[in-house]
């Protein structure tokens, strides 16, 4: 018989759910100077690998001598140390407008415009950025003058490992050779071939951004210069529900763009600025799953020359949009270059931007606005040193880059921008730690031991019900208003509370239909992996053994059905037969006998767990990787 308890002191709601228990605290870390060089670096894009969140790639425009090119940079220790080059991998061609990304398998991509601006090129890496393919052409466009294409923006996803369109690659851009219309194409075979070229806009659109949704939806937005002149007047939007085969385009909403000149603007330190949007989609198991956010700069009102950062969202696939919210710091005299990211494990929204945060002058700092719910916002300054916004020497038209970037996953965000604090425009990255717990979902054997502390209690956030194994180690706070009967399996509803210092292992079962990077915690898995059959079972002489998950990385649960045995112990041996661990008193309930084993320090390979039941031995083989 299974016994259950429900913590009722916080709230009651339907699943899946996300608990809002107060404001999130953000902790900024020191700026990391990721690739010091004598070359100028600017216009940075950054992405985190959700199969290995210590792996991050970034790319930026660079100038080497008098040559415009593009660099790449990567880290495999969560942003502490970086490697790369101010040139593209393998010295391949690259001219401008970097974008980066990862697909569902953990393959990393970088895109660039070729020297002739006649299409776009990509390169990819399957080893966390250490080695890369040579350039692959995404499309060949006819050349007209020297401005055929602008601001290609790829999304190397569908990154949802359970999606029907997983690993689809999409790239959108502005084609100056065709009335400056927005276009898009795709690859469905790992960037081997590209097809299905589509035109999305009916007139001049620029600054495209493409993202995917939790079910493989494709969304594209851009600034629509409807009357053929600056500034931007509308937000263009297009969506596909069939993996990029067909699109439906519309005008999302009107706005008051800040791009009043193609060159330097005196209100922004004589640099050129744009009114391009950035977009992100909530793929978490939270309440806002599927919500589309668009962030953009616009003048505060029709008579003002003060730029503010605004955000809108849609909960119905882009058919309707919320009213605009202003999210920048209140004392920001000018605010521009917003970029947005959503943490697929927590649903937290982060927006990076530049701000003139003094009463006058062009002293600039980098800020991040963040929100749990997309409605209430907080801000944190992430640049350790301010800089003066000014045109980059040697480049034309007041150029100082056209965008900055941010990426996030697992309660951490990384903001990336350029400044000239050392006398040369270079890229800096700052890590931001949020105290918002990860949405627990379908991963088995999840260790929950660092939740948010509120009022002396530990409050756990779960998107789904949690079935806890090994309840002997659970300490339930006596004042938590719970009803509990002893047993080996207890079902917990979201919001349960335990005594400070409690520690246990939980098997998180998929009890509601939510598949997301946050739910499956994005594991790099072989192609034969089937997440629905990761419980290993065997039976001999009526004795049923089980082990899960298999393969395992950190913890594995090993056990058997309890049939009233007199004695049970077990041990784990490696492939040679040498005993690694012994357990003489596994946890026992009326239904099961099981032991949760920490195998995080085991060497990857094959092991045998042997249960000694009433002096007879029964073995089950499992894999550690």
Backbone phi and psi for residue 473, each to the nearest 5 degrees, phi listed first: -95, 5
Q: What is the mean pLDDT of residues 51-61?
A: 93
What's the pLDDT tens digit per position in 455-478?
444 444 443 344 444 344 444 443
Share of the chain above pLDDT 70, in %: 78
Write down the pLDDT at residue 544.
83
**407 within 8 A of 46, measured Cβ to Cβ:** yes
Share of the chain above pLDDT 90, in %: 60
457/487: higher pLDDT: 457
* Distance between CA atoms of residues 221 and 466, nearest Å: 38
User: What three-state secondary structure class fits 471?
Assistant: helix
What's the pLDDT tens digit per position in 243-289?
999 999 999 999 999 999 999 999 999 999 999 999 999 988 777 88
Write down the pLDDT at residue 450.
35
Handedness of CA 483, 488, 491, 496 (dihedral sign): positive
Is pLDDT of 235 > 80? yes
Residue 299: C-alpha distances to residues 97, 314, 336, 565 (Å): 25, 22, 10, 75
HEC string of 493-510 equals CCCCEEECCCCCEEECCC
Residue with tokens 């040139």: 87
* Distance between CA atoms of residues 442 and 514, nearest Å: 9
**105 within 8 A of 167, measured Cβ to Cβ:** yes
Q: What is the mean pLDDT of residues 221-226?
A: 96
Q: Give whichever of 45-54, 313-322, 561-570 has the largest mean pLDDT.
A: 313-322
* Distance between CA atoms of residues 345 and 234, nearest Å: 32
Q: What value does the mean pLDDT of the chain take?
A: 81
Residue 490: band (very low, low, confident or very high) from pLDDT cuts 50, 70, 90: very low
What's the pLDDT tens digit per position in 517-574?
443 333 333 333 233 345 677 888 888 888 877 788 777 878 888 888 888 899 999 9
Write down the pLDDT at residue 153.
87
Is pLDDT of 604 > 70? yes
What's the predicted TM-score (pTM) here? 0.74
Residue with tokens 């391009």: 276
* Distance between CA atoms of residues 128 and 49, nearest Å: 8
* Distance between CA atoms of residues 366 and 311, nearest Å: 18
What's the pLDDT tens digit per position in 354-390?
999 999 999 999 999 999 999 999 999 999 999 999 9
556/7: higher pLDDT: 556
Give the residue among 18, 51, 111 at the shortest CA–CA distance from 349. Answer: 18
* Distance between CA atoms of residues 431 and 28, nearest Å: 6
What's the pLDDT tens digit per position in 329-351?
999 999 999 999 999 888 899 99
Write down the pLDDT at residue 502.
42
What's the pLDDT tens digit per position in 100-126?
999 887 899 999 999 988 999 999 999
Residue 156: band (very low, low, confident or very high) from pLDDT cuts 50, 70, 90: low
Write down the pLDDT at residue 591.
62
Write down the pLDDT at residue 145.
60
Write down the pLDDT at residue 342.
96
Write down the pLDDT at residue 193.
94
Neighbours of 23 (CB within 10 A): 13
Residue 514: band (very low, low, confident or very high) from pLDDT cuts 50, 70, 90: low
Q: What is the mean pLDDT of residues 140-164?
A: 72
């Amino acid at each position: 018989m299974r016994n259950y308890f429900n913590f009722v002191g916080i709230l009651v709601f339907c699943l899946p759910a996300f608990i809002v228990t107060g404001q999130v605290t953000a902790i900024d870390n020191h700026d990391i100077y990721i690739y010091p060089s004598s070359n100028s670096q600017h216009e940075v894009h950054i992405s985190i690998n959700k199969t290995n969140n210590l792996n991050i790639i970034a790319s930026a425009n660079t100038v080497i001598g008098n040559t415009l090119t593009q660099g790449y940079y990567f880290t495999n220790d969560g942003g502490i140390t970086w490697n790369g080059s101010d040139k593209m991998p393998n010295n391949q061609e690259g001219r401008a407008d970097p974008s980066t990304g990862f697909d569902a398998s953990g393959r990393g991509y970088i895109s660039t415009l070729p020297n002739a601006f006649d299409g776009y090129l990509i390169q990819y890496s399957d080893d966390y950025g250490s080695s890369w393919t040579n350039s692959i052409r995404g499309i060949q466009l006819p050349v007209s003058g020297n401005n055929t294409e602008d601001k290609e923006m790829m999304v190397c996803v569908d990154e949802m490992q359970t999606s029907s369109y997983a690993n689809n690659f999409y790239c959108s851009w502005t084609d100056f050779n065709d009335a400056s219309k927005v276009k898009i194409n795709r690859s469905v075979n790992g960037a081997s071939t590209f097809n299905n070229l589509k035109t999305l806009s009916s007139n001049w659109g620029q600054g495209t951004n493409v993202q995917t949704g939790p079910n493989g939806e494709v969304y594209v937005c851009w600034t629509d210069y409807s009357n053929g002149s600056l500034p931007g007047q509308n937000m263009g939007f297009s969506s596909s529900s069939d993996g990029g085969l067909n699109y439906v385009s519309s005008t999302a909403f009107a706005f008051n763009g800040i791009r009043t000149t193609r060159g330097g603007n005196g209100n922004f330190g004589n640099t050129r600025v744009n009114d391009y949007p950035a977009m992100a989609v909530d793929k978490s198991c939270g309440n806002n799953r599927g919500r589309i956010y668009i962030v953009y700069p616009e003048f505060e009102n029709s008579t003002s020359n003060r730029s503010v950062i605004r955000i809108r969202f849609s909960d119905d696939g882009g058919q309707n949009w919320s009213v605009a919210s202003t999210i920048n710091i209140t004392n920001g005299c000018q605010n521009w270059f917003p970029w947005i990211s959503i943490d697929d494990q927590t649903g937290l929204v982060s927006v990076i931007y530049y701000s003139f945060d003094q009463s006058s002058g062009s002293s600039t700092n980098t800020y991040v606005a963040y929100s749990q719910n997309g409605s209430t916002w907080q801000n944190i300054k992430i640049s350790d040193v301010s800089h003066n916004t000014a045109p980059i020497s040697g480049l034309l038209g007041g150029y100082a880059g056209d965008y900055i970037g941010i990426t996030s996953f697992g309660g951490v965000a990384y903001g990336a921008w350029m400044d000239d604090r050392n006398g040369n425009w270079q890229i800096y990255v700052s890590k931001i730690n949020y105290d918002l717990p990860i949405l627990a979902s379908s991963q088995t054997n999840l260790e929950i031991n660092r939740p948010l502390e509120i009022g002396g209690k530990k409050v756990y956030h779960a998107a789904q019900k949690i079935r806890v194994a090994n309840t002997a180690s659970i300490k339930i706070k006596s004042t938590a208003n719970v009803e509990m009967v002893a047993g080996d399996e207890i079902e917990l509803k979201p919001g349960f509370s335990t005594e400070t210092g409690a520690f246990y292992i939980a098997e998180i079962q998929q009890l509601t239909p939510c598949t997301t990077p946050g739910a499956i915690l994005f594991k790099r898995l072989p192609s034969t992996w089937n997440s629905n059959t990761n419980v290993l079972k065997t039976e001999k002489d009526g004795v049923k053994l089980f082990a899960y998950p298999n393969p395992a990385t950190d913890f594995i649960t090993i056990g058997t059905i309890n049939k009233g045995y007199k004695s049970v112990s077990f041990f784990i041996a490696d492939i040679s037969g040498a005993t690694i661990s012994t357990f003489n008193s596994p946890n026992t309930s009326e239904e099961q006998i099981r032991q949760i084993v920490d195998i995080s320090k085991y060497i990857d390979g094959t092991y045998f767990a042997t249960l000694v039941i009433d002096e007879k031995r029964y073995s089950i083989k499992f894999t550690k990787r």
